[in-house]
Amino acid sequence: MLLAIERDRLVDRFVAGYVAQHDRRGILGGPAREKELAETMGREILLAMIVEVREALPAFFGRKQESKLKSEKTEAIDAFFRELLAALARAKLEWRGSPAVSA
């Protein structure tokens, strides 16, 4: 997820398009503020995706609510989510270390 957002520069392009379309250059405070806004929005997008994945996991097992799952399926969801968060943490470290991304 991190790499897709960074590689395609989705948030940066969205902010640049918004600024240009609505003539907001002076209002937002210039390029530094636009970059800060894009970084904040990127974090919010990732958070929303993580929450969405967590909420969708019971449906993978054919249930609408996690409370109705058997314990082994609940354990599988917990294990998957722990690994997802660990993978995101590893990707974050790699992403921040990338020369194409400034911290």
pTM comes to 0.59
DSSP per position, 31-100: HHHHHHHHHHHHHHHHHHHHHHHHHHHHHHTT-S-GGGS-HHHHHHHHHHHHHHHHHHHHHHHHHHH-TT
**In angstroms, rounded to a whole number, what is the distance separating the alpha carbons of residues 99 and 102?**
7
Q: Does 102 score more than 60 pLDDT?
A: no
Residue 94 has pLDDT above 70, yes or no: no
For residue range 39-69, what is the model confidence (pLDDT) as tens digits?
888 888 888 888 888 888 888 888 777 777 8
Which has more confidence, 71 or 92? Answer: 71
The residue-averaged pLDDT of 61-79 equals 82
